[in-house]
A = this chain, B = another copy of it.
């Protein structure tokens, strides 16, 4: 079934990682034209924005990169350059990882909504996921829904309300790999994307980064499960 919004445009939040790259591929199937937006915000791995550019180039998608590194001076997080790489809790809440950047996703979505209005897109797509939720409150479905409400009450643009799509919200990592395969971007994801907390793009054939940080372990476990479930083999079979 072809959805009516196939004629409409979308802005996808791109970070050079597996999740956003899968979203770019998903959005290309769903919408008329896809515009990507990425953010430089003083994150340790500034190579993220370059990788996002490479991926967009490979997929034929135009990318807008926005420098919002002023937030380094506003909120506290050890994700920023020059901060210690201590794996403890955030100073504002002991249940939250120290890498948490308060209000980051609300900031991203607000700027993306602004850009969407300017390029004439009414859809936003973000790769947040509640399934592998690890204390980042702004990846939860309930936050995304509230952000959509706030964005639309901020403008009252009526027929031009923005709609936020989160195609990965309830998927496991294995299902996400399967989605990428169906959309023909599995290879691009394995070879190009950066998900590693240590900023290592590829150290092996499966693009699994450092293989040791929580994000790399999650990705490896998801890939193994994907291979087992959909290809009746193990990850070494690739």
**CB-CB under 8 A for A92 and B117, given A137-B154, A150-B146:** yes
Nearest CB on B from A119, distance (A): 10
Determine the distance from Cα of A85 to Cα of B193 in the docked complex, in whole angstroms: 45
**CB-CB under 8 A for A93 and B155, given A70-B68, A74-B115, A111-B71:** yes
| Interface assignment of A89: CB less than 8 Å from any CB of chain B | no
- The residue in A137, A140, A154, A157 that gathers the most chain B C-beta atoms within 10 A of its C-beta is A154
Contact with B along A102-124 (1 / 0, CB 8 A): 11011100110111011000000
Q: Known A-B contacts: A106-B106, A138-B154. Give 18 more (CB < 8 A).
A: A67-B70, A74-B111, A75-B118, A96-B155, A103-B110, A103-B114, A103-B151, A103-B155, A105-B154, A106-B154, A137-B153, A138-B155, A140-B156, A142-B153, A143-B154, A146-B146, A147-B154, A149-B150
A–B complex contacts, Cβ < 8 Å, 7 sampled: A66-B70, A68-B68, A74-B111, A75-B114, A96-B156, A102-B113, A143-B154
